[in-house]
C-alpha cells in the first residue's frame, strides 16, 4: 500500500463537524443533560454565554 492511499481519518469532515473525533466529543458532552448543564455553567462563569446559546442551537 502506498502512502498516497493512506488518508488521515482525523482530517475528514464528519456530520458537519471538522472530523469524527470532534463530533464524538460533542456527542459525549451534550448528549447527557447533567454534563451539558455543567458545560453551560462553566461557559457562563467564564463570561461566554454566547457559546452556550450556540450549543442550544445545535440540537
Residues composing the chain: 59
For residue 49, being part of any structural domain is answered with yes
* Residues 4-29 pLDDT 10s: 445 666 678 888 889 999 989 888 88
Confidence (pLDDT) at 21: 92
For residue 50, being part of any structural domain is answered with yes
Range of the domain at 51: 34-59
* Residues 18-57 pLDDT 10s: 999 998 988 888 888 888 888 888 878 877 767 666 666 6
Q: What is the rounded distance in angstroms from the CA atom of residue 12 to the CA atom of residue 29?
A: 21
Dihedrals phi, psi of 14, to nearest 5 degrees: -145, 120
Q: How many domains does the chain have?
A: 1
For residue 5, being part of any structural domain is answered with no
Confidence (pLDDT) at 3: 46
Confidence (pLDDT) at 20: 92
Q: Which residues are 14's β-sheet partners?
A: 17
pTM summary value: 0.49
For residue 51, being part of any structural domain is answered with yes
Amino acid at each position: 500500500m502506498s502512502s498516497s492511499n493512506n488518508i488521515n481519518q482525523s482530517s475528514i469532515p464528519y456530520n458537519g463537524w471538522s472530523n469524527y473525533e470532534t463530533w464524538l466529543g460533542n456527542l459525549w458532552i451534550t448528549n447527557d443533560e447533567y454534563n451539558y448543564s455543567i458545560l453551560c455553567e462553566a461557559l457562563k462563569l467564564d463570561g461566554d454565554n454566547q457559546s452556550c446559546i450556540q450549543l442550544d442551537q445545535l440540537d
